[in-house]
Amino acid sequence: MRVIAGGLKGRRLQAPTWDGLRPTSDKLRETLFNLLSPRISGARLLDGYAGTGAVGIEAISRGALEVTFVEHDRRAQALIAGNIAHCGIAEGYAIIGSTVLHAIETLRDGPVRNVFDIVFLDPPYASDIHDVLQAVGAIVKEDGLVIVEHARRAQPPAAAGALTRTREVRSGDSALAIYACQL
């Protein structure tokens, strides 16, 4: 795995040494950031189910203002922190060690309401994330996007809470469902 473009282009990222973590492929990340290119500079991004942190690090490399990584697995949290340190990133990020749903509730109900331009969710492919999709609209800007990576054979909901699926992009065995937030 490597950073594909931007100021950190070419940096190698560590992959997990255990089973159960499926990093977003370089090819799919490239597709994702081709879609996001007009929105990424200066954006606030939440990388949910962050795994290795590759998506959030790519966003920082391409000019995102701030990235919040959310990961429940302590090994993956350490992997994200290691990849951030290896890339020399000193600011503009936070790592939240919790489930994505709990993090959304905390960000929504905190003393300062956190609002993101882009939310990227890459849950385990067998997961039901309907509750997460229902809740995430509360922390997305009105014109923001929520992108869900999923198995190509799975069909994510057409709408959930404040989100409406506007597009789906397929790449190999994976796909990206793109949701617009309409408050």
Q: Could you read off the pLDDT tens digit of each residue along the chain, which spans 183 residues? A: 888 898 899 899 988 777 776 677 778 888 999 999 999 999 999 999 999 999 999 999 999 999 999 999 999 999 999 999 999 999 999 999 999 999 999 999 876 667 899 999 998 866 778 899 999 999 999 889 999 999 888 888 999 999 999 999 998 889 999 999 876
* pTM for the predicted model, two decimal places: 0.92
Count the alpha carbons within 13 Å of 109 in the hemisphere toward its beta carbon.
7
The tokens for 69 are: 């990584």
Minimal CA–CA distance to 125: which of 56, 78, 173, 80?
Answer: 173
Rounded-to-10 torsion of CA 132, 133, 139, 143: 170
CATH superfamily of 26-89+115-181: Vaccinia Virus protein VP39 (3.40.50.150)
